[in-house]
Amino acid sequence: MKFVAVTACPTGIAHTYMAAEALEEEAKKRGHEIAVETQGSAGSEKVNDSQISGAVGVIYAVDTNVDGRERFSHLPSVEVTPGEAINHAARVLDRAEKAVEEGVSEEPAETAASGRGGGGAAAAATGGGGGDGPGRSSKTGMVRQWLMTGVSYMLPFVTAGGILIALAFLVGDTVEVVNEDVYEQFSFGALFFKIGSTAFQMIGPILGGFIAYAMADRPGIAPGIVAGLLANDNGAGFLGAIIGGLLAGAVVLGLKRVPFPASLRSLLPVLFYPLIATFVVGTIMILVVGEPIAAATDALTSWLEGMGTANAIVLGVILGLMMAFDMGGPVNKVAYFFGVGLVAESVYAPMAAVMAAGMTPPLGLALATVVRKRLFNVQEQEAGKAAWVMGASFITEGAIPFAAADPIRVIPALMAGSAVAGGLSMAFDATLQAPHGGIFVFPLVGNPFLYVLAIAIGTVVTAVSVILLKEFRSAQDETADTTDETTEAARA
């Protein structure tokens, strides 16, 4: 059989490409051909028309919207999360083969509900194993997909803005770069700050606009962006942008159900939908949503800025546990985007804790494969070499091959190390204004030496925990083997 597949995740860095590799390997084992389109952060590596025309089915391994979905509309399809494709590629191919044999698609309910043809939001994932928890309802999956789409478009603005603002503080006086008018009194610090702060001003509008886009296609973009701008204006921040984006998408979807005259059909997406939706959503944002959300955002920011060391450590431990729990899955992403959202509110310590906790799982496993080689097979030892690089680059997914092979022992060990790293990062008052980058953004870290110490200690805790748990398993296996031999001898 010949398949095409599309893989995509919100950050477009690790899961997108790991899912593609897993599907390719499983298809090769079965003698199938598969062409995978990775819609990652570097852009799409598109499958061509001849590959699509020769395919008998399509597999979507996505956690965000699919660009150009209409190209595959004639093919039987299966839709899963990237985590399920990574951890259960065989199961995914089984479902794809079944869909082809039956000539039908596993059509997610929300695709129809969203009213989108192509390029729409990816459908909610079916329950999966590994990094993407089982049993999600379709409605929960829908909302998560919409949010992840908004975040995936927002993230480059956070990255660019955060790094440029950090560079401004590195090359200029902290007070002066904020107050200087770069047009009146040029300096590189003021230049970096102006560009970075402008990028930060776009976080809310882009988040709101593309949440609405994921829900309602292009007519949702304008009201969603306006909602994000109003959230900036009234102090509602990224929480207000999320609510505004969801409101904008919902209003446009509602308008699409209104039976307008056929003569107005060509004007609906360019005039009536954006005009009416922008007015309605803008009014709600100003009169209803703005002040309560602004108050909630201010309260959260004040609490985070004013909490004592003990509370900070607890928060760091919780974020660390979440980061290591499913390594790129829903729980991990909640912690990650919590940190990213606070960067947009100029609260930088949680982001540092999140990155420290996300680096330690692959680094700890890499260290364990060096210290106790005999506990790992050849494939895991090779994966350990790659895990050094992935951990240093803040790609937590480098730990997935180990966790998938031995989850009962590996995942608790990873959570222990990440909890220590996150807690120590908060205790050391480390800060980070960039939402990604690993060692490459260490120059931007506040209290960098203590931050490196937190990561190092977390890495050692992870490695020691993994080794102890695997040694305990080995001892149990040896005891069981000895018991079996004794039993056989007695029978003889």
Report domain extents, the chain. Answer: 2-136, 139-290, 307-480
Higher pLDDT: 42 or 407? It is: 407
Whether pLDDT at 3 is above 60: yes
Predicted pLDDT at 113: 38
CATH architecture for the domain at 2-136: 3-Layer(aba) Sandwich (3.40)
* Poorest-pLDDT segment among 74-83, 99-108, 134-143, 312-321: 134-143
Tokens found for residue 388: 């050094």
Average pLDDT over residues 303-311: 72
Interacting residues of 372 by C-beta distance below 8 A, sequence separation 6+: 467, 470, 471
Verify whether residue 375 is a known catalytic residue: no
Task: Count other Cβ atoms within 10 Å, centred on residue 175.
Answer: 8
Tokens found for residue 48: 């061509």
Please state, in angstroms and as integers, the Cα–Cα distance from residue 240 to each residue in 146, 234, 257, 476, following that order.
15, 9, 26, 54
Question: What percentage of residues in the chain have a pLDDT greater than 70?
Answer: 85
Task: Count other Cβ atoms within 10 Å, centred on residue 425.
Answer: 34
- Kindly state the helix (H) or strand (E) to which residue 443 belongs, with its residue range: none
d(CA 334, CA 199): 23
Average pLDDT over residues 172-188: 77
Please state, in angstroms and as integers, the Cα–Cα distance from residue 262 to each residue in 117, 189, 255, 436, following that order.
19, 56, 14, 49
Strands (E), 69-187: 77-80
Q: What is the mean pLDDT of the chain?
A: 82
Tokens found for residue 470: 């695997």
Q: Are 304 and 342 in contact (CB under 8 A)?
A: yes
Average pLDDT over residues 304-332: 82
Q: What is the DSSP string of 161-220?
A: HHHHHHHHHHHS-HHHHHH--TTTS--HHHHHHHHHHHHHHTHHHHHHHHHHHHHHSGGG
Nearest to 193 by CA among 337, 346, 349: 346
Catalytic residue among 9, 168, 199, 246: 9
What DSSP designation does 289 have?
I
